[in-house]
Each structure stands twice: as structure tokens, then as C-alpha cells.
Amino acid sequence: MPGVPGPMNAITDVPGVTAGFTTLITDPGPVRTGVTAILPRPPGRLLHPVWAGTFSMNGNGELTGCHWIREAGSFTGPITITNTCSLGIAHHATTRWLAEKFPEKIGETVWPLPVVGETFDGWLNDIAGLHVREDHVLSAINSASDGPVPEGNVGGGTGMIAYEFKGGTGTASRIVSLRASTYRLGALVQANHGLRPWLKLCGIPVGELMPENAMWSSERGSIIVIIATDAPLVPSQLERIARRVSIGIGRGGTVSGNNSGDIFLAFSTANDPGELPEPALVRFDAIGSDDMDGLFTATVESVDEAILNAMLAAETMTGKHGHIVHAIDPERLADLILPQLRR
């Protein structure tokens, strides 16, 4: 893939950003789900807002906290991603985590508006069984680390499906050099979107060439994408970054179908304003608009690769009602692509 990845090729290449996971699989049993947590700052500084922007390419889904992000350009606290029916408990548990972490602040001088995203895993998971509990969410948050990020059938991505292959959690990062400065940008995706005939890699229609075990005739999934960077950006620039996520997932072939919730969040760890409540005067550094193209490119490349990484890391899964979703065959994929690239 093009571009220069960070040391771990993960969202955790951005300094201060950590990720944690709870994976729930009962065997035998119908549970195939979990929780992903992303902490944009170290735990002790999570009441320091991060500047952010959002974009919805197709809004058949949910990312809580978006109204305030659009209004104020920032959010505080952990981000969690889970299945559609567990969004509420993730919101509840994140609020409890914040209240226990900052008992003198939450509910007094700070009100929590947790950011929680969701995609639907009901083909493989007993989603109506509400198997995600508060302690599962707390475990994901508390396990967050700055190390390598597991991919595929983990966390919120455990039961997800991408292009009718097994999907899930994926991540990638890029190093961006702008003038005399170097920045890091990372993406984490919960890939649960797309139809098989749409799938393309390097512009090659591999989905049409791999029709086996296709399942559906209409879009049934969604994708949540989180972008982190240490580049100093104002909220309007972060919204521009979030918009470029659309190009990254579009490279894989999706048309963002009617039933898909394709919702994206970009945040910057730079320009720390300090702990809430905010000071009377907040000062910003920001990259000039003419230098944004490098970050746009990094966003597109990271998202495109993160989706592929989710699919390549995922394993074939049997779930609810005996439903089977097959993982993509990397050797066959290479056989289809490499001859085209050598031309």
C-alpha cells in the first residue's frame, strides 16, 4: 500500500492515543460481539477536550456526541464502538467510568457526553440478547494500551461482515512530513459494510472475481471510522479530514448503500486547552490550508488499508443459527491482484 506507515501501522502510533478491547464469543452459543475503546488522551487527562470534526456519508447509524462536536468542535472522554443494540450500555458504562475517575468533576462542573459508535452484527451475533454488559465496556476502557492493535474478530468488530467476507476491526497509520515538521495520523475502522460485487483492491474488481459464498442483494451493514492525529488542526480542518474518509472507503468499492451507517470522526491531540471548564481564552496553532493535502492523503491511505487489514486479519466465523461467514482468502487475492500490478 502507498505511504509511509508508523512503527505499528496503527492508530496508537499517534502519541497519547490508546486502544482497548473486550471480545465476547461463546462456543457453543450465539454470542459474537464485543467493545472497542479508544482513549484520545492518557486516562488522567481525559477531561482535557480534544478538537474534533465529524462527517456522515450515509446516516443509517449512530455516533453519539456528534451534535456537540458539530457545535463546539470538541469532545472529552473515551470513544467506544460496539453493536447497535449495545450502544446504550456503552454510553451508560462510559459515564460511570468518567464519574468514578473524576468524582469531583462529573455532574458538578463537567457533564459527560460520551462518544459511542455502533454497527449491526445481528447475522452472526444474538444481538437482541443484549450480551454486552457494563463490566465489558469498563474492561475495554481499562485495558487500553499504546501498543500494537489486534485486528479482525476482536472488540466491537467481532461479529462484523465486510463485502460479504468476514470483516471487523482494522487499523493503519501514516507518517506525514509537512515542511520542517513530522506528524502522525492513524485510522481505526469497524468494517461491516459493502456488497461482494462492489469490492475492489488497487482498482481491480476482485469481488466480481470471488463470488463464492456471497449472501445478500442489498446493503445491510455500516462502517464507523475514527481518525486520530497529532497535527495541530482546528475543528473545521478536522471536519475536512473526516470528509476524506469517504474517499478512503470508496477506494474499496462501496457506494455507501441506503441501509449503511457510514459515520466518521477525526480528532487532534494537539492544542490541549487544559482541563474543563475551559479557560476564558483558548489559543490555537493550526496547519495552513495549503499544507492539508498531505493529511488528506494520509487519511485516504490509512482508511483504505485499515479496511483491508480488518478483512485479512479476520477468520471464518460460525455464529447465530449456524450462519457462516467466510474470511477472504489472501492467497487467492494475491493471485488476482499481482498479475495486474505487474503489467
Q: Distance between CA atoms of 224 and 81, rounded to whole angstroms?
A: 8
Q: Which residue has the cell 457545535?
A: 71
> What are the cell numbers at 169?
476491526
Dist. CA 264–CA 307, nearest whole Å: 14
Of the candidates 288, 120, 110, 94, the one whose C-alpha atom is nearest the C-alpha of residue 216 is 120
3-state secondary structure of 11: helix
- Secondary structure class of 337 (helix, strand, coil): helix
Active site residue 74: no
User: Cα(36)–Cα(34) distance, rounded to whole angstroms?
Assistant: 7
Catalytic residue chosen out of the listed positions 86, 173, 260, 268: 260
Among the listed residues 173, 222, 256, 302, the single catalytic one is 222
Pairing state of beta strands 18-25 and 181-192? Answer: unpaired
User: Annotated catalytic residue: which of 13, 121, 262, 304?
Assistant: 262
Q: 230 catalytic, yes or no? A: no
The Cα 206–Cα 217 span in angstroms is 17
Q: Is 262 a catalytic site residue? A: yes
Instruction: Indicate which residues carry an active-site annotation.
Output: 222, 260, 262
